[in-house]
Amino acid sequence: MTLPAPDAGAPDAEPQGPAPAGPVQDPPGAGADPFAEPTERVTPRWTAALSLANGSVWVGWYGPIQVLLALQAAELAPAGWSKESVLAWVTGIGAAVSLVANPLFGALSDRTVSRFGRRTPWVVAGVLGGAAGLVLLALARDVTTMVLGWCVVQLALNATFAAVVAAVPDRVPVRQRGGVGGWLGVSQTLGIVLGTGLAMAAGGITAGYLACALFTVLAVAPYVLLRQDTPLPAARRPPFSWRGFAAGFWIDPRVHRDFGWAWLTRFLINLGNALALLYLLYYFRDVLYAGDGEKAASGVLVVTALNAVLLLATVVVGGVWSDRVGRRKPFVLWAGVVMAFAAGIMAFWQSWTGVLVAAALLGIGFGVFTSVDFALMADVLPAAAHRGKDLGVINIANSLPQVAAPALAAPLVNHLGGYPVLYLVSAGVGLLGAVLVGRIRGVA
């Protein structure tokens, strides 16, 4: 793929030099140009292995997030601390680590010289470190150790996640990225479900952490054993300076306009989705069921399941369809419009039927958005030499809304009009993100 100026830039960032021939036993692709745009289609076997590795990361994150950290916070909360406060501190500090870790490890993997490739060493190191963090959480007997363990998990698994995501523009041709992105979306959703299931079925906090740790390590084995990560010859690794390394994390949107608009689109649509889902339990309890917490919890479970089923039904279909027609922007636009319409339903149709319709539309819209927007992002990366770092910067547009949504939602619900206003703001933010995708010029 060739991007029009000003979003092109790979030649400036890629020092040239002869790629040394590797030994016969080197992995497939050892003699290939690591910065070339891929043209050979990846196999279903490779896609399945990469998706399984991606799912392992979400198991390692969401077993703790959905179940184990909350149980542990209630058990370890010191005198004078509520379990909610402990959980907020643990997850908040972990989120801050995640924001830094993803682009950092993406940048480090861009520069890694190894006969196993640029990404694979970080996939392996990340899951081993993540498993160690989960074991530390299993052994934690105080809040300090709990915070430390969760920070290790976030730090390490972000190394794996950054490397897995960067493997897509490294290996997958443009006309196949929507489909591969769809399968990564499937593995993410199933990883969340499986992580939650493992945590609940293992029989206790300690066993839950250990089960998630074991799965996380074993699930990356097929991808590592394939050995299809193209190595970076030492002669082609860019010169290093601390100042240049730090400055590289700023991608000027005035120079790389497509990248900047794509980042903003993803941020706004994810923020709209986060606002719509953040207070769902409270919406059920306070609006639909007049304080009945048990009915509210059951309602959330049903709605979450419906949303997940429709997301899984559309995430691959949307990506493959986008690949076949060779277009990205219309899919992202209409996915965002559908999600905004769903949030509008929540504002004006406050009933069980209205919520079911909204959940179905959110699942359909977010499924298409997940796969096609991932492909769009891979298509607008500024330079092949630092795909991992650039995708790490993009992933901030996924995680930052999770931090911003609570800060925005609380005053909207408590002081500025309640849930109708919250869902109208969610719809407006998401719709703005969808419309702004039209400002991207280098992708159809």
Q: pLDDT of the chain along its 444 residues, tens only?
A: 333 333 333 333 333 333 333 333 444 554 567 788 888 999 999 999 999 999 999 999 989 988 899 889 989 988 888 887 888 888 888 888 998 999 999 999 999 999 899 999 999 999 999 999 999 999 999 999 999 999 999 999 999 999 999 999 999 998 999 999 999 999 998 998 898 888 888 888 999 999 999 999 999 999 999 988 888 888 888 788 788 788 788 888 888 999 999 999 999 999 998 888 877 777 887 888 776 667 777 787 788 888 889 999 999 999 999 999 989 999 999 999 999 999 999 999 988 899 999 999 999 999 999 989 989 988 888 888 888 898 888 888 888 887 788 788 878 888 888 889 999 999 999 999 999 999 998 888
Domain end, chosen from 212, 230, 248, is at 230
* Same domain flag for 133 and 269: no
The single residue listed with the structure tokens 């990846």 is 42
The radius of gyration of the chain's CA atoms, rounded to the nearest angstrom, is 22
Distance in angstroms (rounded) separating the CA atoms of residues 216 and 157? 9
* Same domain flag for 198 and 297: no
* Same domain flag for 156 and 286: no
* Same domain flag for 200 and 90: yes
Is 29 a member of any domain?
no
* Same domain flag for 435 and 303: yes
Domain of 328? 257-439
Tokens for 10?
């790979």
Domain end, chosen from 195, 230, 265, is at 230
* Same domain flag for 276 and 204: no
* Same domain flag for 206 and 325: no
Residue 430 in contact with residue 266, Cβ under 8 Å?
no
* Same domain flag for 226 and 261: no
Is 38 a member of any domain?
no
DSSP string, 241-284: -HHHHHHTT---TTTSHHHHHHHHHHHHHHHHHHHHHHTHHHHI
Hey, what amino acid is at 172? Answer: V
Which domain CATH number covers 273? 1.20.1250.20
Domain end, chosen from 167, 195, 230, is at 230
* Same domain flag for 212 and 92: yes
* Same domain flag for 194 and 263: no
* Same domain flag for 91 and 161: yes
Distance in angstroms (rounded) separating the CA atoms of residues 192 and 58? 6
Is 28 a member of any domain?
no
Burial of residue 432 (number of CB atoms within 10 Å: 0-12, 13-18, 19+): middle
Is 53 a member of any domain?
yes
Is 35 a member of any domain?
no
Q: Please enumerate in sequence order all residues whose Cβ is within 8 A of that of 441, keeping only pairs 6 or more positions apart, or say none.
A: 4, 257, 258
* Same domain flag for 123 and 268: no
Residue 300 in contact with residue 284, Cβ under 8 Å?
yes
Q: Please enumerate in sequence order all residues whose Cβ is within 8 A of that of 330, keeping only pairs 6 or more positions apart, or say none.
A: none
The count of structural domains within the chain is: 2
